[in-house]
Structure 1
């Protein structure tokens, strides 16, 4: 196969929705990428002409090792720890040696690198490291994980336990990604887009969804990355064949909205002078978060050519790069009553921070606020007043055209500062519970002795659930209903629905409604 044919086999041009042509700066997640910190350029190194002038001291790079996925943790002394996988560049199968890759522990005094290897941990691919609330370090790899009491080990290899809760597993359990919840539990998304919960990040991961949470578009999805900030959950998933990634947000980690525009595409690694490190593939996105959970840097595994063309002892290879991000502003809405189409004005508090003085820096006339469906297209509420409050500001917006409805949990702001640079943020709403209940059912079972159908309902959320209504709809249209009592976090109950004769459960559907809103559906 010639080079052109190989590349074409790895690329499908995905048509974008026509409306994406109307998106403004700040609408797309990829608008948040900032220029890479200045570094060292070196001639005569591996790589195609598209990356010949890259920063060799950004992230981790070694001519003898092909690096791939990894992420960064920071210790209390300010040292950065990159847990990354790689393999010898001269491996007999080149890049296709990846199933036998090794996990390395590398360190740097700078977030963007350069990182140097401190230790070899063991075999494994596509690591994602996180710290448990007890201080132990977990490094997930495909098919297992390493755990240690410190950043430097010693490391013990183990396997997670998974409880499917009567559900099918979507596309296997690989390329897992994890987000800490406020009580120390972990939400996990698997490669196929299923959502799982663990009480402590080690205890069994229990599946609470069956359908994938990815965008409902054509795509070969992989490499999800999930995280939570002080406001909401975020998820990015990559269509490796179309070389386009999508960005989603969620209140609870289960129900997601997909924002318009690309999360990233090839070419997001740009120098301050405008030079583009135009890597062929950007995969294994990981994030480094600040104390508020906002993304301040992303890491990518990158390669200069099609993977199958990266051969031993050639001019091709891969590395892990670091790109700084616009982290956004901290914001909260001050209106105590729910916002709707009749709201006349909306007051938004924007917090000042180290290096950011909103009263001096923001271009008031440029600011737009409201639903992402409005703001991303340059619509939304216009700012009409700004008052300073200490180091913060309170901006008053005309309430007309906000697009905010009862489903909104984090309205968006896009605008410019006085230098013409993009600013953005998502605002907390005072009437939204950001630790909601999450009800999930087990498979219905017919109890012949009790002449009833029994369904176990569990609350995987972080707040008590409200009294709810459960509806069981059979394939033949028969409907049974019952009440579901309030459940504390992680509690469960068995709901019994009267059925005088055996109820055909194949193909049935369970629906749970709270305060008139559907909060859970599951087909069995």
Structure 2
């Protein structure tokens, strides 16, 4: 290849590299009709004022940043990380990083060190106390017995307390339970369940459950739980509050993230609108820190489990352009979130089209008086599919209950969907700020049984199907029918008894027809309640 050709190839590669991480995704047409407060990104609040400095690294678009927000250093490129609070009120950030002058620049991330940093507040500046060990993309969580686990790709560190100087390295055990592992086991994220067990979502969108948070993690899903749209998904973050599970996943190529909710961690709804996009970091005066990439989102939660802050790994340019001893680098930033209201529905009977009035209580909290701070006329209540577009139930009148406020809403047709589990409220405070909240329904089971099967196998000697089923839910299941199918042909049904949480049963079934077990095979296990197929596990070669 001659010199001119080499120059052309080099220029082409540089152009490709510059735009390799940018693809403009077309938004659904209906999103243009979303109201303020509908999108998760509407919950981002201004970053508290801090210290600005001159002569710092970064492009002009982030030169206005507060250097005491999150954690940053001219000597270290930081990435990932989340915060835990200890009983003494201190905030502990577990973040990874590598020398800014490393020979490969940002691409030295594979040699990351996990740091423990501390601060008296969740915003920063966090200061490194010690290093935990090697690893990348950390996420810290606390076990039921109080021990702290810091996950890193391919392993974890564990210690007795947040500020320990003695961390032990270990590896999780994973049981895919005859399912294909979806896009590998990296960038894991964890949410503690009500009984102290843990739900985990892997990068590919598979859901796993561990009874103690360490091992084994058992896979329950056979396909990704992410939105059924085009996207290069990674960086999921899952958390659970006192009502439901939340999940945000990022399309890194399109630089758009999606927000999802679930009552059980297995079945998810996707709310309309962007969860976050570049530019969600802004100051009280409206000035924006335009970071090129916002990745590895993590949430910090209050005592109710509400997300009150989000931390991001941010970089000011394309990762491959961050070279040693240059003006580019990365850091971790802290952005406060609108935590939402504490709501409760007072109707005891299921809400249907015949329900005339829905009563919703808005609880008072420290620093918040719902009786004086809410613009009642602005409120809308119902399914997110209605409320996010300004529709839904409108208020009829209000009642006071101690320091709380009760809103009586006129029920409107189509304001509730049949499988609604967490109706939403959107409105305004009297000062013009956005308010929102979700509420449980008294008649919904938020700790349901979760029956899950392994792939059925056929025993030719006995001429029968063998099947193992386990309840991964937090309550006992009801007796139900189970049907086995092979390549779409029903092999027969059997009844299974009620299973306690984590209980396993093994069944044997004589087939109705002789199964053909040659060629490409697909198996299904369907759970049937009162003639309705409630769940189907699919296994394929």
What TM bracket, shorter-length normalisation? over 0.9
Q: What is the SS of the residue equivalent to 1:196?
A: strand
Q: Structure 2 CA distance, aligned partners of 1:51 and 1:227? A: 29
Counterparts of residues 201-240 of structure 1 (less than 5 Å):
201-240=213-252
Counterparts of residues 501-520 of structure 1 (less than 5 Å):
502-504=514-516, 506-520=521-535
Matched, 1:36 2:47: yes
Q: Structure 1 CA distance, aligned partners of 2:492 and 2:48? A: 61
2:123 to 112, 120, 123: 112
The equivalent of 1:465 in structure 2 is 477
User: 1:340 touches 1:405 (CA, 8 Å); kept in 2?
Assistant: no
Measured after TM superposition, the shift of residue 499 of structure 1 is 1.6
The equivalent of 1:87 in structure 2 is 98
Q: Structure 1 CA distance, aligned partners of 2:277 and 2:82? A: 20
- Root-mean-square deviation (CA, aligned residues, Å) is 1.3
Q: What is the SS of the residue equivalent to 2:300?
A: strand
Q: Structure 2 CA distance, aligned partners of 1:370 and 1:34? A: 25
Q: What is the SS of the residue equivalent to 2:122?
A: coil
2:305 to 278, 281, 293: 293
The equivalent of 1:309 in structure 2 is 321
Matched, 1:20 2:31: yes
User: 1:448 touches 1:502 (CA, 8 Å); kept in 2?
Assistant: no
Measured after TM superposition, the shift of residue 33 of structure 1 is 0.3
Matched, 1:70 2:81: yes
The equivalent of 2:497 in structure 1 is 485
Which shows bigger deviation, 151-160 or 396-405?
Answer: 396-405
The equivalent of 1:416 in structure 2 is 428
Measured after TM superposition, the shift of residue 500 of structure 1 is 6.2
1:348-398 deviation line (CA, Å, top 9, x unaligned): 111111111111111110000000000000000001111110111111000
1:256-276 deviation line (CA, Å, top 9, x unaligned): 000000000000000000110
The equivalent of 2:464 in structure 1 is 452
1:150 to 161, 164, 187: 161
Which shows bigger deviation, 498-507 or 41-50?
Answer: 498-507
The equivalent of 1:199 in structure 2 is 211
Q: Structure 1 CA distance, aligned partners of 2:27 and 2:336? A: 26
Counterparts of residues 234-273 of structure 1 (less than 5 Å):
234-273=246-285
User: 2:488 touches 2:522 (CA, 8 Å); kept in 1?
Assistant: no
Q: What is the SS of the residue equivalent to 1:374?
A: helix
User: 1:334 touches 1:348 (CA, 8 Å); kept in 2?
Assistant: yes
Structure 1 runs not aligned, ≥5 long: none
Matched, 1:371 2:386: no
- Alpha-carbon distance change, 333 to 158 in structure 1, aligned in 2, over 3 angstroms: same
The equivalent of 2:6 in structure 1 is none
Report how many residues are paired.
Answer: 524
Structure 1 runs (4+) deviating above 6 angstroms are none
Which shows bigger deviation, 120-129 or 503-512?
Answer: 503-512
Structure 2 runs not aligned, ≥5 long: 1-9
User: 2:491 touches 2:512 (CA, 8 Å); kept in 1?
Assistant: no
Q: Structure 2 CA distance, aligned partners of 1:476 and 1:124? A: 45
Q: Structure 2 CA distance, aligned partners of 1:328 and 1:478? A: 48
The equivalent of 2:5 in structure 1 is none
- Alpha-carbon distance change, 369 to 402 in structure 1, aligned in 2, over 3 angstroms: farther
1:451-495 deviation line (CA, Å, top 9, x unaligned): 321211111000111111212222153442221211110011123
Measured after TM superposition, the shift of residue 421 of structure 1 is 0.6
User: 2:449 touches 2:475 (CA, 8 Å); kept in 1?
Assistant: yes
User: 1:483 touches 1:495 (CA, 8 Å); kept in 2?
Assistant: no
Counterparts of residues 287-436 of structure 1 (less than 5 Å):
287-436=299-448
